[in-house]
């Protein structure tokens, strides 16, 4: 993390001339200047000294990715037909950061996730197209269950979904290129708000025989991460009084499934997180691109969950709109309270694929010699704001543990990022069982390994 360079200068020769002393001081100053400006050696966390020497650049862009044709929708296996309409548009939003040749590309898509090998497929294309290191790309989805499914399976995939996936690939290239082409110096700042929109969904049920089980429902006593992390980005305008330029982007991270809508819904929507993005853009202006990210929300659903449709009763505010607006309003409140934005900020990134202890999916059993399950973890920082991307559905306790142990005040935990390896629950929940445990391809001890690795990566950035 932070590296401190200590210069120890001991001179025993008291007879040395004044000229010699000047040469030594000049040499030390020159070396010191080298360390301050060298891209390899400057590992400061965006402090005042680096702020003067690093010019953080960023570019932003947004593209519409609403399906043009009816598609098979993702997220509920019970839903077999094609989509019948569109409630609100889906978008891909991109922020490209750059500093001293190092880049960080954050991609937020209004989709369920990159399942069925599509994460690897899209990442390979994007990394190649833009000559990025694997650690420089966060390809993520907000996990809406009212969007199209992605597929590259020519045998089993629906033709419209195959076509959509190829179209999406072209759109992602287009939007990253657009963001890369409008880069300029920026100021960034971060803030923390809180929202009750997300609710722990692991509900304890006890049947008439007294047997207990954990079902998907509502558990108001279970843990939820109420933090709404927000980043504000403004153009750096060099005025005599140092005033900031216009606002160009907002990023937010919140831990909830986007599942206000259930398996009976056939209408395309960004659901809670997508509607929150759209609300913020409506309030702050269309030119302030607002990219949302799903935090560690494997066991968190919106307060109103899996409803059959947008309620059209007169006077009723449809629940996805209500909750999306509520989350969006907190993003705006937090955004407006971010008083301090600053320039500078170095970029550091890291990427690892962990081979974690595995278990059979869709079973409660733990097999001793089950083959490991791979999981991608990506870590990055821009100045003193950190990002951890995890390629699966992380239960909320794990995200909270990473944030609590992070050396950064503002740490975005971004799930459904650079992979789609299903649920990762914390060890203590395996005793209770339930949907996330049964679906998980990971053995109980995997979560602790992930937390330790993610925190280690953050420390080493």
**Interface residues with Zn ion (CB under 5 A)?**
393
Element (DSSP H or E) covering residue 310: none
Closer residue to Zn ion (CB): 53 or 439:
439
Residue among 165, 134, 171 at smallest CA distance from 147: 165
- Would you list the DSSP string of 224-257? ---EEEEEEEEE----TT-----EEEEEEEE---
Structure tokens at 180: 């890369």
CB of 94 to Zn ion, least distance (A): 23
Minimum CB separation of residue 415 from Zn ion in Å reads 9
How far apart are CB 297 and Zn ion at their closest, in Å?
A: 8
**Shortest distance, CB of residue 250 to Zn ion, whole angstroms?**
25
Residues contacting residue 62 through CB under 8 Å, at least 6 positions apart:
91, 92, 93, 94, 175, 289
Enumerate residues 6+ apart whose C-beta is below 8 A from 104.
96, 97, 98, 136, 138, 347, 349, 380, 382, 387
Determine the residue with CB nearest Zn ion. 393
Nearer to Zn ion, 393 or 397 (CB): 393
Please identify, using beta-carbon distances, which residue of 216 and 352 lies nearer to Zn ion. Answer: 216
Nearer to Zn ion, 216 or 283 (CB): 216
Total residues found in the chain within this entry: 461
Cβ at position 392, least distance to Zn ion in Å: 10
- Residue 204 tokens, joined: 């304890």
Take residue 214 and report the two structure tokens written for it.
Answer: 């954990």
Task: Supply the minimum distance, in Å, between the C-beta of residue 393 and Zn ion.
Answer: 5
Give the closest residue to 172 by CA, choosing from 229, 208, 113, 129.
129
CB of residue 112 to Zn ion, shortest distance in Å: 8
Two tokens, residue 347:
């970029």
Q: Give 346 or 393: the residue with its C-beta nearer to Zn ion.
A: 393
- Cβ 236 to Zn ion, closest distance in Å? 39
Closest CA to 112 of 143, 151, 67: 143
Residue closer to Zn ion (CB basis): 105 or 141 = 141
* CB contact at 8 A, 353 and 375: yes
| CB nearer Zn ion, residue 298 or residue 345 | 298
The smaller minimum CB distance to Zn ion, of residues 294 and 382, is found at 294
Residues 6+ away with beta carbon under 8 Å from 339: 189
Q: What is the CA radius of gyration of the chain?
A: 24
For tokens 């019948």, the residue is: 84
Measure CA 372 to chain center: 25
């Amino acid at each position: 993390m932070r590296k401190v360079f200590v210069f120890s200068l001991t001179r025993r020769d008291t007879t040395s001339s004044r000229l010699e002393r000047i040469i030594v001081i000049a040499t030390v100053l020159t070396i010191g200047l080298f360390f301050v400006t060298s891209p390899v050696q400057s590992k400061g966390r965006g402090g005042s000294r680096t702020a003067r020497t690093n010019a953080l650049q960023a570019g932003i862009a947004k593209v519409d990715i609403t399906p043009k044709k009816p598609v098979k929708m993702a997220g509920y296996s019970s839903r077999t037909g094609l989509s019948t309409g569109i409630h609100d548009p889906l978008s891909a939003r991109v922020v490209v950061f750059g500093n001293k040749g190092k880049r960080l590309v954050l991609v937020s898509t209004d989709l369920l996730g990159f399942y069925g090998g599509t994460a690897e497929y899209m990442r390979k294309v994007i990394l190649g197209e833009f000559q990025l290191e694997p650690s420089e790309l966060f390809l993520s989805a907000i996990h809406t269950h009212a969007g199209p499914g992605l597929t590259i399976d020519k045998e089993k995939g629906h033709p419209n979904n195959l076509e959509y996936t190829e179209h999406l690939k072209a759109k992602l290239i287009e939007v990253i290129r657009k963001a890369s082409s409008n880069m300029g110096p920026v100021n960034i700042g971060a803030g923390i708000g809180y929202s009750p929109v997300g609710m722990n969904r692991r509900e304890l049920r006890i049947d008439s025989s007294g047997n207990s089980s954990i079902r998907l429902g509502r558990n108001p006593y279970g843990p939820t991460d109420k933090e709404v992390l927000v980043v504000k980005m403004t153009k750096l305008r060099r005025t005599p009084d140092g005033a900031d330029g216009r606002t160009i982007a907002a990023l937010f991270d919140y831990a909830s499934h986007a599942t206000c809508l259930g398996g009976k819904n056939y209408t395309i929507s960004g659901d809670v997180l997508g509607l929150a993005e759209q609300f913020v853009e409506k309030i702050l202006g269309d030119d302030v691109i607002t990219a949302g990210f799903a935090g560690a929300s494997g066991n968190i659903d919106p307060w109103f969950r899996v409803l059959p449709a947008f309620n059209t009763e007169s006077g009723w505010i449809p629940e996805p709109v209500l909750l999306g607006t509520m989350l969006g309003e907190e993003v705006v409140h937090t955004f407006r309270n971010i008083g301090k934005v600053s320039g500078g900020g170095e970029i550091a990134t890291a990427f690892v694929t962990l081979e974690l202890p595995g278990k059979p999916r869709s079973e409660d059993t733990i097999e001793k010699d089950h083959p490991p399950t791979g999981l991608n973890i990506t870590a990055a920082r821009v100045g003193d704001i950190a990002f951890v991307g995890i390629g699966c559905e992380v239960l909320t306790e794990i995200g909270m543990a990473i944030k609590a142990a992070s050396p950064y005040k503002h740490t975005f935990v971004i799930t459904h990022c650079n992979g789609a390896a299903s649920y990762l629950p914390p060890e203590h929940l395996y005793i209770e069982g339930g949907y996330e445990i049964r679906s998980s391809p990971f053995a109980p001890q995997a979560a602790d390994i992930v937390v330790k690795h993610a925190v280690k990566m953050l420390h080493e950035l």
